Amino acid sequence: MNKTTQNGFTLYELLITVLIVGVVLTFGIPNMLQFNQNGRMTATANNLHSSFHLARSESGRAKTNITVCASANPLSAAANCGGTWDQGHIVFVDTDGNINRAGATETVLIAQGPVAEGITLAVANDAAYFSYASTGLGRPNVGGNPAVTQVVMCDERGVTTAAGGSSAARLFVATPLGRATVFRDNALVSNALTAMAKSCP
């Protein structure tokens, strides 16, 4: 009589495996969620920062006005200023310096679409533009309109401490000279929101 060997799991082995998988998921899923939230927040801050950086360097290189502005139709061929930052923004050659794109004659250098879902923006003075002069310096209050100085970016976590000890929210600052910086300090973010008289989210 031939002996046959059967391979497989015992019930105890299967239960232990299921238990281990459950423990891993219990700790892993929240961390993955926070990882994704941090990724979206970082991408939003970096997109805005890189747009300002390009506008500043291009204005000095091309010796012309370059404007960054919120746009309701940033990805359209007829993209123009008007709208809110969460809808997207454009960086364009502002030849006449009026912070308003004059059709195809004023070239769009960068077009950024709407911010990631779940991201909320609080903008100081509800400013919708920042313009650089041909010197590479900022042009504040063009036509009486206030230029962007601070933007707070946050999600459902609000102004809390994320992994690594930094704030879950981001503070984008543009100085009158045109230097743009992103901060992740809870105190700075909270102070900025207080000065704006706004909350986030």
pLDDT at residue 8 in the model: 64
pLDDT at residue 150 in the model: 96
pLDDT at residue 39 in the model: 86
**How many Cβ atoms are within 10 Å of 187's Cβ, its own excluded?**
10
Q: Where are the domains of the chain?
A: 11-196
pLDDT at residue 30 in the model: 59
pLDDT at residue 173 in the model: 97
pLDDT at residue 33 in the model: 75
Residues 6+ apart with CB under 8 A from 5: none
- Residue 34 belongs to what H/E stretch? helix 11-62
| Cβ contact 131:66 at 8 Å | yes
Looking from the CA of 60 toward its CB, the CA atoms found within 13 Å total 11
Query: Which CATH homologous superfamily contains domain 11-196?
Result: minor pseudopilin epsh domain (3.55.40.10)
Instruction: Please tell me whether the peptide bond between 201 and the residue prior to it is cis, using omega within 30 degrees of 0.
Output: yes
pLDDT at residue 15 in the model: 76
Rounded CA gap, 37 and 13, in Å? 36
DSSP classification of residue 146 = P
Q: Which residue has the tokens 């502002």?
A: 94
pLDDT along the chain (201 residues), means of 10: 63 74 64 78 94 95 96 94 95 94 91 93 95 93 92 91 81 94 93 92 80
pLDDT at residue 159 in the model: 87
